[in-house]
Amino acid sequence: MNNLFDSTDTAKIIERLHKLTPESQRLWGKMEVGQMVAHCNASLETAMGLTAPKMLPFYLRAIGFFLKKGIVSSDPMPKNMGTDKSYMMEDDRNLEVEVAKVLKHIIAFSEGGPAKCTQRPQIFFGSLTPMEWATMQWKHFDHHLRQFGV
């Protein structure tokens, strides 16, 4: 299964990030390209323990527990999934700046391996192993890169 601990999988995500331009148009959803990269970076920062968004209410985490299996499977993420407000980027974002930030974090996460993962539960899915974090992050990047046609 693809994941950000695998150097080949990581290199392919990085290659696709480099194909984005300020003119890249979304195929679905609401975010502009710079916002999307910032959104992906915010998720990766959570996986690395650099940020700790507030946990969702128990009833939502109970739903997340049952959906977790799908999010760490080899199936692609469905289009137009909801996101927590802490990951919504509503202000304008400079693509070049956001790509530079996310590349730094992707490389640190990939090279750091399991030691780079937070021990905190994910706000919706709950506890994740390092491999589940790495798989989920790869799928998240893949989902949004497909959203912008790369």
Count helices and strands in the chain by DSSP H and E runs: 5, 0
pLDDT at position 58: 84
Instruction: Write the pLDDT tens digit of every residue in 41-74.
Output: 999 999 999 988 887 778 787 777 777 777 777 7
Q: How far apart (Å, rounded) are the C-alpha atoms in residues 53 and 145?
A: 24
- Tell whether the model's pLDDT for residue 10 goes beyond 80: yes
Mean pLDDT across the stretch 89-112? 96
Domains of the chain, by residue range, sit at: 7-147
Q: Which run of H or of E encompasses 12?
A: helix 7-18
Percent of the chain with pLDDT over 90: 68
Say if residues 53 and 122 touch (Cβ distance below 8 Å): no
Q: How far apart (Å, rounded) are the C-alpha atoms in residues 97 and 94?
A: 5
- Predicted TM-score of the model (pTM): 0.89
Instruction: Name the residue with higher pLDDT: 66 or 89.
Output: 89
Q: What are phi and psi of 80, to 5 degrees?
A: 60, 35
Instruction: Name the residue with higher pLDDT: 98 or 80.
Output: 98
Say if residues 131 and 3 touch (Cβ distance below 8 Å): yes
